[in-house]
Structure formats: structure tokens, C-alpha cells
Structure 1
Amino acid sequence: MRFSTLATTALSATLTSARIIGISTPSTLSPNTSFPLTLITEGYIQTVADIAIAYGFQLPSERYPLGFPGSLGGFAKSAYLGPQNSNTVGNVTVNATVPAELASQTYQGKDVVLTAGIYSIYGASGDVGVYGWNVTVRIGEATGGENVSSVEQAWKKNTVTPVVV
């Protein structure tokens, strides 16, 4: 009887905790418009508090076809996630904005890398990290097309450097 109750409780806890594992967005984005930036989630073994998302756009290069590692690129924007959009089983959609500056000839009609970084706090220990994902989108006349999703985590930053006094 105790095992059954414990197993049910453990299963319930697993199903109510989640973490972000990627991003998804329309394949074509139009400057100076809003678009749905979907945060893809999965069930996880511990609670994750997602605090905020920051995202930016950059041109791919031959050396860095998925954008410069650990960088959001230019035109960075952000949104608060907080408790309502955190540790949620089921994807979360943020209303994001494409910067008007992407209407220039440098970007218009070209593929750009959209990078998103999520500031999160993991578990009872409060392990802090920033986790990033990339997708390649086209800058066009209208936002739409099939959604493109990140394939894997692009980068993670959570190193600790002690301060020497």
C-alpha cells in the first residue's frame, strides 16, 4: 500500500515538473511585426523556474553557420516568463517582435539566425544557468510559413568563477 502511494506521488511530481528544451517559430519573419516564439517543453525530474527569455538576430557566417556561440546577435529583446510561464508541462508561447532594422538590404530576403537564451533556476539547490537555442529563419515581406524548431541545445552558460577579495 505504501509503495503504491509513493509511486503515485512520484509519478505525479514528475508529470508536473518541466523544463524548456527548444524553440519554434514561423520560418519567415517580417520586420516590425510580432510573431509567436514557442518554447518547447518536456516533463522533468525536478522543478525549473524559468525567469526570462532574451532573443536576438544575427547573420550566419561560413565559420559560424548557426550564429556566434553563446551570443544573441544584434537587436536583442527580452520578455519576463515568471511563475505563470515556468515549469509548465506543455509548450509556452511568447509574443516576440521582429526589429524594424531587419528591413534593411543587409537582412531582407536573407536567412538569419534567431537565438534565444532562457535564464533558469533548477531544483532545490537553485542551480542557475542560461540555456540557448537557435533556428534559421528568412526575413521576408510577411510572417508565416511552416514552423522551424531548434534541433538541440545550442549552448549553456552556468560556470562559476570565484571572486577573490
Structure 2
Amino acid sequence: MKSTIRNLSTLAALPLLCLLLTGGCEEPETELSRSHAYMDSLRTMLGELRLMDHELNQVIAGRQSGVSAALIVPIVRQKLRPTIQGLLDRTDDLTSTTATADVHDLFHTYLQTRLDAYNLLLQGGAESRPELFEYFGLKQIEAETLGRKLEDLIYKVRSEIPEYN
């Protein structure tokens, strides 16, 4: 009788033991895995930016007479600004790690600077204020400078994160 009770209690504990064993096999999320996930998300967003910039460059390259506000303002309003705003929102939702904190901050600043530039362009178009187009140009230059710094920093951080390619 004691052996039957012992066998029944062992059988009752078996599902719990299986659950513990299978649950224990999962690798806990580490700082390293979070850094990899962050860099993967960043890579996706940078790809979206490159595609957007490529599409814009194709539109601009197709113009023989140069680029006017009448051409660029609708593109910024309909495509570029919403894309940048969406990327900025997604960046806000990302959780950076110690290894990716500087990249996160610089990427956020870069996106915000591009958004500020587009806002100046749209405001200049809406209010017929050509001086805002000049400020737009200056903000674009600032964003390009930040973009180069971001590329350098991403390269550095990638090389410092173990096992990241």
C-alpha cells in the first residue's frame, strides 16, 4: 500500500517536474541578448531610412530643372515626415542597454533633427516664408553631420558587442 501511494505521488509530481525542466532550459534574457535585439531593430529602421532616402533621391535625380519647394513639400508631407515620425516613435519604444545607450541617444537626436527640418520646410510652404527653407537647409546639414557620427558610433558599438555580426 505504501508503495502504491509513493508511486501515485511520484506520478502526480511528474508533470510539475517536466514543467520545471522544460522551463529551465530556456536561456534567460541577458544584457548581451538585449543588445543584439536592439542592434537588430536598429538595423531594420536604418534600412527603412535608406529606402526612403533612395526613393527621394530618385525623384530628385529625375528633375532636370532642379528641386523646388513645390516638388519637395508634398513629398515631405506625404511620405518623409510620417516615416521619420514613425521611426522616432518606434525608437522611443526600444529599450537600450548599457552597450547601446549612446547609439540610442544619437539615433533619437538624428531622427528628431530630421523631423525638425521637415517641420520647418512644411511651415515655410504653408506660410509662404522662404527664410524657413534656409533654416530647413541648415537643419538638413546638421542631420547629415549627426548621421555620419551615428554611422561611426554604430560601427564602434557593433565591434564591441560580443558575437554580433
Please report the TM-score for the alignment, with normalisation by the length of structure 2: 0.25
If asked which structure has higher relative contact order (CA below 8 Å, sep 6+), I would say 1
Point out the structure with max Rg over C-alpha.
2
Pick the structure with more strand per residue: 1
Please report the TM-score for the alignment, with normalisation by the length of structure 1: 0.25
Pick the structure with more helix per residue: 2
